[in-house]
Chain A
Amino acid sequence: MKSQTRDQYLLLISNSLDSRLSEKEQLELNKILADNADARSLLESIKSVKIALRSAPRRNAPRNFTLSSQSAKSLRHKAIAFPIYRFTAAFSSVAAIILLSYSFLFNTPSAAPAKLTVQAPALMSAESASNSPSSLQVNGQPIIITWNSPGGFGGGGGDANTLSAKAMDDGITLESAAPPMAAPQAPPVPSQKVQPTDEAILREASPVISGSGPILGISNQPQETAKGKLNPARFAFPLHNGWLIAGLITAVVALITGIITIVMKREKYH
């Protein structure tokens, strides 16, 4: 209770020293001073503090702080450069976040095979390329274009026919969506009747896969084709890598300009 009262008259006393009291406040303070010895003591001691501070010797500047024309010019240039660096750092940071987010979140790996499918006709043999798109169907079935590895690199898929070294080495294998062997789900082909050969019957009876082809989707062939040239499809640059690289470059720019901005701010060039 006493503390609260002291806080109240402390403010009044402090304001009174700078003549900042209204008439009403002055009357209130006079009443407090008349009744309270602690308030009178406080008023005197705080008045002494004010006098002491005003009487304290003033420190004069040890040197002149005037600016030379060279330092003024330098300050002007830095004052212009600072907001530019700051804006560049902020803008490139936002751009880097957007580009990297787009690259990692929206360009899923499934986008890359879609592009390869579009490129496939250009790499087909002249005989196949001369045909109309509808002629690319075999026996009315849609065509699946497989690049190098049957069933993808994940291993698994494909049958004994396509899991052969020959299919791997050709680069492109066109096969029918319907399996060459009669499957229960596949609709029967009216124009052609597939007669199972003795070899097929033998394979069906004995599921052991033999040969020199890849095992579990791992190719044992070199990266180069027979002519010594790199396979363009294998080394095609996926689209989403472009976004990734652009994002990384922007992030580097953001980092560099950000560091410069922080250094300039610490050196008070702003």
Chain B
Amino acid sequence: MDEQSLIQDAQQGDLDAFNRLVLAYQNMAYNLAYRMLGEEERSEECTQDAFFSAYRHLRSYQGGSFKAWLLRMVTNACLDELRRRKRRPVIPLEPVNDTDEEMDSPAWLASNDPSPEEIINQRELDSAISHCLGTLMPDFKAVILLVDVENLEYEEVASVLKSPLGTIKSRLARARLKLRDCLQGFKELLPSLYRLDKESEA
């Protein structure tokens, strides 16, 4: 059964059809939430909230990209959570060294697990990206994730975030620049493929 038929059935109250849509998109939704929030537990809650919201507002869906429509629910849930965090900030637990001093982030982000090189590289990249995404403003983070991770078109991102196309382009460029600056601090940890200063070294 194709996606449009499932959506129509779900709009008419068919819960099984809706659940099939959930199964098709839940990994994408959770991945976006995790990249936005950087926390597994809250990401899970936001993903669930997004699907609840999608179920309640399914009748308001009037065609277009269902993926973009669903990602709007996820993005809104994550932005709400980030705003809540901003109102009630929490202090993350940073690891300390023997002298009770906080260790620099790039150092403690490095994994010491004895695992194959590829897995280590992936973990390090994942940690570095998560850390650097955390330094971005929520709106900038949402733009870069929707474009570079979820492969949405600019117009779709503008629709998801309800912002003008020019704003999306500008935010994307600035977010990429800031992410580049942050990732350059991890150049020793990143696999050679992702070293950002290879041009200058050459």
Contacts and interface: CB of A to CB of B under 8 A. Distances in A.
Given A15-B169, A18-B154, A46-B180, A65 B18 contact: no
B27 interface: yes
Given A61-B27, A66-B22, A75-B56, A49 B147 contact: no
Given A14-B173, A52-B129, A75-B55, A60 B148 contact: no
Contacts of B34: 59
A267 to B, nearest CB: 10
Main secondary structure of the interface of A (DSSP, over half): helix
A49 B196 contact: yes
B177 interface: yes
A61 B199 contact: no
Contacts of A62: 30, 40, 44
B193 interface: yes
Given A10-B173, A11-B170, A48-B195, A66 B19 contact: yes
Contacts of B30: 59-62, 65
Interface string A172-199: 0000000000000000000000000000
A268 B52 contact: yes
B94 interface: no
A51 B176 contact: no
Contacts of B147: 18
B142 interface: no
Interface stretch (A37-45, A225-233, A240-248): A37-45
Interface residues of B, number: 54
Interface in A215-270: 268, 270
A58 B148 contact: no
A55 B125 contact: yes
A67 B176 contact: no
Q: Which of B43, B77, B154, B173 has the most CB of A within 10 A?
A: B173
Given A11-B173, A56-B149, A51 B194 contact: yes
Contacts of B169: 11, 14-15, 20
A210 interface: no
A67 B40 CA distance: 20
Nearest to B46: A268
A41 B199 contact: yes
25 contacts: A11-B170, A18-B154, A45-B184, A45-B196, A48-B180, A52-B129, A53-B149, A55-B125, A55-B193, A56-B149, A57-B126, A59-B30, A59-B43, A61-B30, A64-B22, A64-B23, A65-B22, A65-B30, A65-B47, A65-B48, A66-B22, A66-B23, A67-B22, A72-B15, A76-B56
Given A51-B193, A61-B47, A75-B55, 9 more contacts: A14-B176, A42-B177, A45-B184, A45-B197, A57-B125, A62-B40, A63-B44, A65-B29, A72-B18
Interface of A: 10-11, 13-15, 18, 20, 40-42, 44-46, 48-67, 69, 72, 75-76, 79, 268, 270
